[in-house]
Each structure stands twice: as C-alpha cells, then as structure tokens.
Amino acid sequence: MARVAVFSAGSWGTAFGLVLADAGNDVTLWARRDEVCATINDKHENTDYFPGIELPSRVRATSNPDEALDGAEFVVLSVPSQSLRDNLTGWAPVIPEDAVFISLMKGVELGTTKRMSEVIAEVTGAGPERIAVVSGPNLAKEIAMREPAASVVACQDDDVAHRIQALCHSRAFRPYRSTDVLGCELGGAYKNVVGLCVGMAVGLGFGDNTTASVITRGLAETARLAMALGADPLTLMGLAGLGDLVATCSSPLSRNRTFGEKLGQGMTTEEIYATTSQVAEGAKSCSSILQLARDTGVDAPIAEHVDAVVRGEISARDMMDAFIARDTKAERD
C-alpha cells in the first residue's frame, strides 16, 4: 500500500485513481473546485464524469495541493498537457523530495516541443529515476467501469517501473513495463493527431477502407519520428503505440476522434471548443508535434494537414484530397 496524490479529478485522473485504489493504495485526488471534492468525499462519485460509478472508499478529494501531497510517495499528473508547466511550477515547492512522478498526459508542449517527462524534469529537477509515464489503450470511461484493459508503465529505471507496475495492477488493469519513455510518450501524443484525422474521415462519411488507411499511415508516421529521436520501434508496435492508436481511432468515447468528426462535419475549431468542456489533446498539440517533426527532418503529412485544418487554413475535404494527390512511392518510404 502506498499514498498517491493524483492531479487532477478529470476523467482519466479519476479513473486511474480508481485503479490505484482497487490495487490497495490510499489515493487523494486534487480537484480545482470544492464542490467536486465534496461530491467525491460525501457520495464517493465523480458526477461530472462518471455518474453512477461508485469510487472506492480509499479515494478522497481535496482542493488543497499541500493536503493532497502530504506524505505522497507517488504524484500522478493528469492535467491538460499545455497547462502542466504553470500548474507544476506552483505545486513543486511542496512535492516530497523523493516522490516519483507518474505522467498520464499525452501531448507535446507548444513553443518548446518538449514531452511531458521533459517538462517535469525541467520544472522540478527530478532525475529520470523519478519520472515515469503510463500509456496505452485506456479510454477513461471503460477503465472506470472496470472493463479489462492493459497499459505500459515506462521509466528509465526498471526498478521504479517494477514498483509502479505493482502499484497499479488491479483486478481489471494489467500493466506491462518498459524503459522506453520516449517511445511511449510519442506514441501517446501522436495517436491523438491521427485520431483527429480518422474522425474527420468519419465526419465526411467515409468508411473502413479510408480509416484503416489513415490509421496505418499514421502509425508509420509516428514510428518515423519516434525512431529518428531514438525510440525503440517495438514500442510503437505495442500497447503504447498501436494499441493506443486503435482505441483512439475506433471508439466514439475518444475525445480526439469526436473532435475530428465535428471538423469533418464542417464545424470550426472555435465552434467545437464552445460546445465542449473536455480537452482534445491532439487539437492542442498538433502544431508542436509538427514542429518537432520538422526540427527532426521527418516527413509528417498527417500532422501537417491536421494542423492546417485545426487552424482553419484548409477544410477536412481538402485534407483528404491532398493525401490522395501525394506522389506515389514504395510503402517503406
């Protein structure tokens, strides 16, 4: 049993907190709003995201970061990726010096093109042995409903990966481990961009041939960038790569696919933001992922065109037409 602080009480943070509690740990969720904390503590339910799903008694909530972090051995971070730096800068002074960070976030920071583990290291000074990521086909609602699922725990220190593996191995959640933090993070971030693209294809009315083609070429694009940066190609074939990609691109529960569908149906990015309170990480991170690919010298047509649609520079139909019009080449190229 360990004491774990989870920031924040959104859908994935709450679901992962449930997993941790099912595995026998004491979990404190940090929520921004007092009324969310009161509902979790009094009714054992997060009605904003999972109405009707009872949270374990080991889960409690607070809006006070100091209280959440008191005695925490592990600090789970599940805030929107573009707000991590500002939030973590405020929390860092009260985080226990030996606490291990676990990132659930799947994005690349705008401006710096840093992965979330790199932002954590930069803000807190934590070494790689104190920074881990969890990534895989983990749609939050299905996790909260305790449907069987698997994921990858990645840390450069395999002993720490072992500890976290034990920390979150519950009756419905099976974690595997890896030392390829880079590959896991890029797989998780890039699949959101591909999910947007697949959603646009669905929104335009296209069928399985089109979506399968986008998924496959999206995986190839992800692997090109990840390998160019030093990732293990096998990571992209596993749960944090192909597994996460399939879940995001196939499920109506995926925020990114849903966001893409609305773009394909003709809504603008601003109109979509105005009608939803949840963050589609791919819409926020596509430009930083594209910049990372350009800086690395990697061709990234899906990221390039998705970014253009999100910016309103082209339509989803223009994007699909542009893919077909690209020069033909050998598949391995």
Residue 40's contacts (CB-CB under 8 Å, 6 or more residues apart) are 9, 29, 31, 46, 55, 59, 60, 61
How far apart, in whole angstroms, are the C-alpha atoms of residue 243 and residue 214? 15
Contact present, 264 and 203 (Cβ < 8 Å): yes
How far apart, in whole angstroms, are the C-alpha atoms of residue 22 and residue 232? 32
Q: How many CB atoms lie within 10 A of CB 333?
A: 7
Chain centroid to CA 115: 11
How far apart, in whole angstroms, are the C-alpha atoms of residue 222 and residue 232? 12
Catalytic, out of 106, 114, 191, 284: 191
Burial 10-44 (b: 16+ CB within 10 A, else e): bbbbbbbbbbbbbbebbbbbbbeeeebbebbeeee
* Among candidate residues 63, 129, 70, the one with its CA nearest the CA of residue 95: 70
Chain centroid to CA 91: 21
Contact present, 17 and 59 (Cβ < 8 Å): yes
- Which residue blocks in the chain are alpha helix, DSSP H? 11-22, 34-43, 65-69, 84-91, 116-124, 140-144, 158-167, 181-203, 208-228, 233-236, 244-250, 255-264, 269-275, 281-296, 301-311, 316-325
262: annotated active-site residue:
no
Active-site positions read 191
